[in-house]
Structure formats: structure tokens, C-alpha cells
Amino acid sequence: MEMRERHEHDVLVIGAGGAGLRATIEAIAAGASVALVGKSLLGKAHTVMAEGGMAAALGNNRPEDNWRVHFRDTMRGGKGLCDWRMAQAHAREAPDRVRELEAWGALFDRAEDGRMNQRPFGGHTYGRLAHVGDRTGLELIRTLQDHAVHEGADVFMECTVVRLLVVEGRVAGALAYWRPTGEFVLFRARTVILATGGLGKAWKITSNSWECTGDGVALAYHAGAELMGMEFVQFHPTGMVWPPSVRGTLVTEGVRGEGGVLTNSEGERFMFRYVPEMFEGDYAETEEEADRWVEGDRVSNRRPPELLTRDVVAKAIIAEVEAGRGSPHGGVFLDISSKRGPEYIKAKLPSMYHQFKELAGVDITVDAMEVGPTTHYAMGGVKVDPETAATCVPGLYAAGEVAAGLHGGNRLGGNSLSDLIVFGRRAGAAAAAEAKDLDLIDVADGELEDAERQALSPFAREGGRNPFSLQEELQQVMQDKVGIARTEAHLHEALADVRRLRAEVDSCSADGGRAFNPGWHTWIDLHAMLTVSEAVVLAALERRESRGAHTRIDYPDSDPEFGRVNLVIRSSDGRMVTDAEPVAAPPDDLRRLIEEGV
């Protein structure tokens, strides 16, 4: 093996999106030296694709809004499976984190009175999403990366981690390689924070960018960490469905937040027929009532049914398509032009205007969009301590989409961006504090050589399977058999398929050299994609009920027993095993708040 490039830091942050950047800033503020490793270029993390806004109970739209209402909305949206401690911390701290971003230079949209504007989103009692048009994630990344670089972060771009290094049960760093050259680099660190985002690229139709292959979840699992809630994968109700080349591209919930309505091929505004019984008092019963709410009449506060939680809206769209009332290309229609004028749309939804104009030839100020569900977000991930974001592996932390707990069975729109900054900060502080009392741990050359040999093995094979074809097959399996509506038969088939593909991945070969080799990069990604896919299928088989983003056609109702447990996955003798662990019960005052309201 060649000489390895080596770097030593107090804290290693893997992932340069919102959570990783915020963790980096906090760890540096605590006096730690930090290496920030990103799979793509700095500023290109998937966070930039977040559009609608970040949820925080600032009370700018409605003075009645406060952390208790936000907490209640989050817990209800998560269908009883949120960690109440994380939901409380998130709701309490989000306003300060948003104001902090503003102090660092984020340019949020303003209302006429000069206060930060906040738009409505599904599942939120009040409009509480601070936003920058429909480009909020981009502004978040711009602000955080500027601050992190200014504070002295050591940034390593286009660098992929292939293994977390664990010595005598404690994380000691990571082995990675430079994507442009294929050369290995060793990062030794006292503590490590995973902030690698989601896993949506395991499905064929997804809003996720190329980086989202489940790397952090797989790295943590193979290092000995536990996973939780893996069955809960959110399918955003509105992704583009035409043309095929852009199918799955996100259409922000901000369109509906600004008054957009969903209609079927018969011109019916169909969401009024899909309001669940538990939400009937919260949502408008007529178009007139819904339109009054959009125009600012908040007397009854009964929101348009288009602003129901994402799981409800996605399943309603599927029901309309299956009933033969879909749009020409297999979706439904989303119309903002009949509710808002052209200049308003261009000002509030500039990205959507240009996206449809350039990619679909549709002018959304005049015509309706065709939309349908797209794989969007993983509520499950690495199980962490709710206070510190620590995993069960000493020295290893996780924050953002890679971590489980906050969102339970279904995430509310806008909670993801505030999740990043609240728990990124907490992870950075905890990892830096722990690092102060630790020495760097030596890693045996044998382990490093084994990791390098395994990573390079496709180059030693000729005429093997093409990694791209295997990836495509996996994505089709997950799309067809582990989608919005699941059955035991399809899940068993998917499990067999995933395990077969896992056996085949080591027969793949990579042609050419290591520099800029996309086939090799895909083969590396496949190991993570197969790990997270198996975890999702196993958990989906075990949860024999329908709850939140997890729907079992053969078990259409929610089971109260499953409503009290999370499914945890761990490795046992090289096999994935699942266990049911009780959800921590909130204190009586918070329980009453969830059940009865503020």
C-alpha cells in the first residue's frame, strides 16, 4: 500500500451540509481543532436543495405561536414516536438558532412591518417557516460555510469516507479517499460527528441529490452503532412527474403554503375528502373557508387541507391516480396561478418558476404543475442520545437527517432545517467537550491495509458486473416493493433481492484508473445503499401496522402497541437484528399538551 496522507484533529466532522457546518462552528467555538470532510464541493451539500424554510416559533405571524405549540405539532406529526426530549429542545431552541443565522448574515424575507416573514406549512398550527423565497437551504449553507471558514475550519472537499476506525470499542478516526485522485487519506481524531444526510438515492424516484446514499447510517452501523426508525421514509407529495428526465425533482411545499391547490383530472379540489378524523377540527371544510385562510382571515384558523401532513397528502394523491383521476403523466395538478398573481409568484417562488419554465416548459404563473410523490427524507437513522447527539459507540456522534429520534413516524415540513442547526450545535459542543479529555488513538496498519484492500478490490477483477446496473436494479426494487404502500409479500421479495444484490456487489469490477472513476465511486456507494436498504426492509416487515410515513396495505390500521415502541436495529454476529424498545413517555404536563392542546 502507498504512503497515506495523514491529518490529526480534535474533532472530525463527516458531512458539510447544515448539520456538519453548524457542528463545526460550535466545536471551534469550544476550542477544538476541526476537520470538515465533504463528499462534494463545499457549498454543494444536499441542504442547498431545501426550499420552503426553517420552522421556528418566532411568533411573527401570530403572537400566539410559541415553543409549546411547535412542540405539540411536532409530536402529533410524528404519530407518537418522536423522542419528546428532542422535540422539546428543538422547539425551544429553534428561534435562537434562526436569529443567530440572521446575526451571521442570513437575509431572510421580511414582512411589511420589517419583521422576519414566516410562511405556513403542512402540519403547523401557525405560519412559522422563516424563509428566503424558495431558496432557504442555499442561504443557510452560504451563511454557515462563510462563518465556518472564517472561524478556522480545516475543509477537505471531494473526500469520501470508506470506514470509521474503531480501536478497543472507541472511534479513533476515519479512512477516506480523494475522489479526484483515488488516493487514501487518514483522519485521526478524538471524536467524530456524522452529518452525512439521508438515503433517498436507494429509490429510483427521489428528490435527493447524488450524495444521499446512506453513507453515515452505514458507517455507524458497521462501527457498532444502533439504528432506529428505519421503516419511516417520507415520500414528499409533490415532485415533478414530467418530463421523465427530471421526475422526482422537488416541488416545494412552499407552493401550497403560499396558497397553491391540488386538483385532479376532473378539476376537483380533492383534499377535502382526505382529512383524517383526528384533524377534522383543524382544517377547512369548504373551498371558501380555505381561501379566506389563505387571504389572511385567521379567525377560525382552519387551514386548507393541502396543508395536511405529508404522509396524508402523498397517500391522497396516490389514491386519486389509482382511481383514474390522475393527470396525463401519472400525477395530479398543483395550481398557484388561480390564487396568486404573476409578480407575487415570481417573488415568492422564484426557483419554482424557473424550474418549471426551464425543465418542463410550463409557466406556473399561467398553468398548473403536474406533481406526484417522490422519495424525500429519512425519519430513521442512527440512534442518538437526545441531549448530546452521542451514539452508543464512545466518541461517535450524529446530527441532522442521519440521526433518528426527533421526527418519529413523519417529519413536518420545515423541521429539517431547524433540526440541522439545533442538533448540529449540540453535537459540536458535546464532541468538543469530550475531546478535551482524550488522547489520539493509534490505528494498526493492518486495519488500514485491510480497509484499503477492500476498497480497491473492484480493480483486481476483470469482466465483473457493472456497478451502475446493480445500482439501477436496487433502486427499482426499493421503488416497486418498498414504496409508499407496502405488503408482507413484496417486503419479503425485497429482502431476498437486497441480500442477493449484496452477494453480487463483490463480483463487480471497475475499469480504468482511480482518478475521477465514477464506476468505482458507485461501487463504494453501493455498500452503504445495500446496508440501509436491508435495514429499511427489515424494520418495515417488523412494523405490522400503518403509521405516519409507513403504510402496510395488509395492516391498514395503527396498532396502539406499536405506537409505544421504536424498532432498533443492531448487528449481532454479522447479522442485522431488530428489537422493539419503548418510547420514552413525556412528563404529564407535556402529555396533556400533546393530547389536549395549548
Summarize pLDDT for 22-55 with one digit per residue, the tens: 999 999 999 999 999 999 999 999 999 998 899 9
Summarize pLDDT for 540-552 with one digit per residue, the tens: 999 999 999 999 9
Residue with cell 410524528: 78
Mean pLDDT of 131-137: 94
d(CA 216, CA 207): 19
Overall residue count recorded for the chain in this entry: 598
Cβ–Cβ under 8 Å, residues 432 and 30: yes
User: Percentage of residues in the chain with pLDDT exceeding 70?
Assistant: 99
Q: For residue 298, count other CB atoms closer than 10 A to its CB.
A: 15
Cβ–Cβ under 8 Å, residues 260 and 334: yes
Report DSSP state, residue 595. H
d(CA 192, CA 167): 13
User: Percentage of residues in the chain with pLDDT exceeding 90?
Assistant: 94
d(CA 221, CA 530): 12
Report the phi/psi class of residue 573: left, alpha or beta, with left for phi > 0 and alpha for psi in -120 to 50. Answer: left
Question: Which residues does residue 381 pair with via DSSP β-bridges, in sequence order?
Answer: 228
- pLDDT for position 282: 87
Cβ–Cβ under 8 Å, residues 353 and 276: no
Summarize pLDDT for 455-496 with one digit per residue, the tens: 999 999 999 999 999 999 999 999 999 999 999 999 999 999
pLDDT tops 60 at residue 1:
no
Summarize pLDDT for 212-261 with one digit per residue, the tens: 999 999 999 999 999 999 999 999 999 999 999 999 999 999 999 999 99
Question: 166-179 as b/e, with b when 16 or more CB fall inside 10 Å?
Answer: beeeebbbbbbbbb
Summarize pLDDT for 71-117 with one digit per residue, the tens: 999 999 999 999 999 999 999 999 999 999 999 999 999 988 899 99
- pLDDT for position 294: 83
Q: Residues 321, 212, 204, 531: is their CA dihedral positive or negative?
A: negative
Task: Answer whether residue 275 is part of any domain.
Answer: yes
The model's confidence at residue 3, banded by pLDDT at 50, 70 and 90, is confident
Number of domains in the chain: 1
Task: Answer whether residue 10 is part of any domain.
Answer: no
Sheet of 227-228: strands edge to edge? 381-382, 227-228, 565-572, 575-582
d(CA 139, CA 421): 13
Residue 300 in grid coordinates: 377560525
- pLDDT for position 299: 66
For the domain that residue 371 is a member of, what is the CATH number?
A: 3.90.700.10
Q: What's the CA angle centered on 199, arms 223 and 252, to 5 degrees?
A: 145
Which of 344, 367, 347, 343 is CA-nearest to residue 357? 367
Question: Which residues does residue 550 pair with via DSSP β-bridges, in sequence order?
Answer: 547
d(CA 352, CA 336): 11
Question: Which residues does residue 155 pair with via DSSP β-bridges, in sequence order?
Answer: 36
- pLDDT for position 293: 86
Task: Answer whether residue 43 is part of any domain.
Answer: no
Task: Answer whether residue 279 is part of any domain.
Answer: yes
d(CA 381, CA 402): 5
Task: Answer whether residue 353 is part of any domain.
Answer: yes
Q: What's the CA angle centered on 273, arms 271 and 274, to 5 degrees?
A: 70
Mean pLDDT of 516-524: 97
Residue with cell 480497491: 456
d(CA 134, CA 255): 9
Residue 533 in grid coordinates: 436498504
Task: Answer whether residue 343 is part of any domain.
Answer: yes
Cβ–Cβ under 8 Å, residues 232 and 377: no
Domain that holds residue 341: 238-375
Cβ–Cβ under 8 Å, residues 123 and 308: yes
- pLDDT for position 220: 98
Task: Answer whether residue 305 is part of any domain.
Answer: yes
What's the mean pLDDT when you consider all of the chain? 95
Task: Answer whether residue 334 is part of any domain.
Answer: yes
Active site members: 236, 256
- pLDDT for position 296: 79
pLDDT tops 80 at residue 365:
yes
Residue 247 in grid coordinates: 421526475
| Phi/psi at 177 (5° precision) | -140, 150
- pLDDT for position 280: 81
Which of 238, 172, 164 is CA-nearest to residue 205? 238
Mean pLDDT of 374-384: 98
Residue 307 in grid coordinates: 396543508
Residue with cell 413525556: 586
Q: Helix 415-435 vs helix 84-103: angle between axes, to the nearest 10 degrees?
A: 90
Summarize pLDDT for 277-301 with one digit per residue, the tens: 888 888 999 999 998 888 877 667 7
Summarize pLDDT for 184-206 with one digit per residue, the tens: 999 999 999 999 999 999 999 99
Cβ–Cβ under 8 Å, residues 371 and 326: no
- Check: pTM over 0.85? Answer yes or no: yes
Question: Which residues does residue 397 pair with via DSSP β-bridges, in sequence order?
Answer: 193, 390
> According to DSSP H, which parts of 436-466 are helical?
445-456
